[in-house]
Amino acid sequence: MSKKSVKLWHRILLIGADVLAVTAAAAFAYFCTVTEAKLDTPIWIWWAANVALGVLLFLACNLYNIVFSSVGLPELGKGVIASAALGVANGIFALVTKGKYITLGTVFVYTLVIFCVISFIRLCKRFTVFCKRRMLVGSRRTIRVMVVGGGAAGLALIKEMQDSEKSTYNPVCIADDDFEKRGKLVRGVKIGGTTYEVKRLAAQYDVQEIFVTMPAVDRKKVSEIVKRCQECNCPVKILPGIYQMANGEVTIAKLRQVDVQDLLGREQVRVNLDEIMGYIENKVVLVTGGGGSIGSELCRQIATHKPNTLIILDIYENNAYEIEQELKRADPSLNLLTLIASVRDRDKIRDVFDKYRPQIVFHAAAHKHVPLMETSPNEAVKNNVFGTLNVAQCADEFAVETFVQISTDKAVNPTNIMGATKRICEMIIQTIGRHSKNTKFVAVRFGNVLGSNGSVIPLFKKQLAEGGPLTVTHKDIIRYFMTIPEAVSLVLQAGAYAKGGQIFVLDMGEPVRIYDLAYNLIKLSGFEPNVDIDIVCTGLRPGEKLYEERLMEEEGLQKTENGLISIAKPIELDEEKLWKLLAKLREEAYAESDDVKKSVKELVPTYTIDKRDSVAEALHIVTQTGAADEAQVG
């Protein structure tokens, strides 16, 4: 049977039930209120008129187009209107006939009974589900849930937990900071205290999971509440923010595991979409490294700003293929081109620029893993320095409008080859930009990105899934963090501010201790740190430092219209010396010289070459026997 046929039969059955309801209500009211009740012709006509009028009123009030499992006050309100209209019609009939057939008492009883019966018919599905849920709670194991937030979102979630036949959750208490609500019941669930009392409530009600349902509350407050919840030693889930909930519906499916970024307590970054649209719309945009974490998110956001053509260029075909397919599914009309190429190959890069004439370039292709680059410094130089040089020179030659270099805070006073090569990239961009007649060259400098390939959060989650331990290089190491979408949206906005030769610095908020991230992630997963899951400090890796800096001493900051984006003052460079040392560096890198780090230091005097033994000794990792620990640090 088709869906249309099923729907039609449901409607016919409901109309039949209403006919029986009207008949029963009319008979009950008539025989209860009329002393000399007789079933003569006028009474049969009255009954038939009520059946016809009742069905028409119920149709007019859309009482046959409802989903039974979600019947609530709106539907009951329509039932009140239909019943009242039926009552008014019968009242007029009683007054006109001067009570010859029915009395006003008959009308009152009839109206009350018909409302109760049609309401029961429409609530019977929910009543059945409620009874099943009660039996389920009593006979089968359910998960006892505390709901944090007694507002509309919390109410909607409790409603779904109680009404859904498939739900295995049982809401047992609510925590809410509105003192006027304290002690009151929400659909039978008691508001037992404030969010400052979640630990007590969790123990008192034997809570097994906590749902934080405060989508409209600011990030900082939610962060504080989540931190209190993690002390309860049970899993915590959270509803996303209002801006993330496209249709506004609150369901159990929308709950997600609390992530570490929920504890950072920083508001979501906002950008001026009009400014971004102004320079990307109808332009040919090239993203190098378009398959990587930052590159792929750049492609996602650029795709929403109506480019003429989006070109994804990457050396790793699997990543490039994945983002290509994702973008095609999201917008089949997008003019998308995916190219497999290396930024090291100058001839190929020049061919790309000559054929497709990109107007905007985001250069995200780079080797970024600090420890790996320490053991392969020549590869870092080839890819980061000379790959950037190839792309930048082609951008200048083919009159690209805007060139945006993705940089890092590790370029400031670098202690690793990756950061030092990125500083050279900034120097190249500033130098070429100073002489370019057509292209605005800028670099954007920011810190660690949560969830990016090789970042600490995915590693922690993998270690947690394996039962631990979680490894931290040093207990006091701190980093600046930002989510991938936030970082990319600011990169796009920085491109709108480009005037040439600038280094934009993103405000990453307050620095975060990596040890605290590991500790909080364990707590949020319902375990006790260093009891259930250990946190082990392994020692700083090659090229790693305890903290990152956003600026060098010579640089000052100038604010832009977006308070989270600042401009670093360019440092004067000896251009002749720069090109001479770059030529020397190219020769050494391609000759696989062991002294390439020394040549990099000539270009970047603030670069401190990592002395692994001395780093290990400073952190007390090397013992007198030293061999095993020295191997670990190396």
- Residues 328-374: tens digit of each pLDDT: 999 999 999 999 999 999 999 999 999 999 999 999 999 988 888 99
Give the pLDDT score at 253.
58
CA distances (Å), 218 to each of 156, 178, 240, 338, 450, in order?
A: 20, 16, 12, 40, 20
Q: Tokens 């190396």 identify what position? A: 634
End-to-end CA distance of the chain: 70
pLDDT recorded at residue 556: 57
pLDDT recorded at residue 618: 36
Residues of the chain falling short of pLDDT 50: 242-248, 551-555, 613-634
At residue 514's C-alpha, the angle toward residues 513 and 517, to 5°, is 95
Long-range pairs, 489-492, Cβ under 8 A, ≥24: 489/269, 489/271, 489/301, 490/269, 490/271, 490/444, 490/446, 490/562, 490/564, 490/565, 491/294, 491/298, 491/362, 491/404, 491/406, 491/444, 491/446, 492/271, 492/276, 492/280, 492/298, 492/301, 492/302, 492/305
- Residue 337: strand pairing partners: 311
Decide if 34 contacts 102 (C-beta within 8 A): yes
Tell the residue number behind the tokens 């749902």, with chain if given.
Answer: 211
Q: What pTM was computed for the model?
A: 0.63
DSSP calls for 142-187: -EEEEEE--SHHHHHHHHHHHH-TT--EEEEEEE-S-GGGTT-EET
Note the pLDDT of residue 143: 87
CA 81 and chain centroid, separation: 43
Nearest to 336 by CA among 365, 363, 299: 299
Peptide linkage before 332 cis (omega within 30 of 0): no
Report pLDDT for 254.
56
Q: Which token pair is 523?
A: 């707590």
51, 86 contact by CB (below 8 A): no
Greatest alpha-carbon span in the chain: 117
pLDDT of residue 616: 44
| Residue 543: per-residue pLDDT | 67
* Structural domains present in the chain: 3-133 (no CATH), 141-258 (3.40.50.720), 273-618 (3.40.50.720)
d(CA 503, CA 507): 13
pLDDT of res. 499: 81
In this structure, how many other beta carbons lie within 10 angstroms of the beta carbon of residue 369?
12
Q: What residues form DSSP beta bridges with 314? A: 340
The tens digit of pLDDT for each residue in 276-289 reads: 667 889 999 999 99
Q: How far apart are CA 334 and CA 477, in angstroms?
A: 43
Decide: 502 and 439 in contact? Cβ < 8 Å. no
Q: Which residues are catalytic?
A: 410
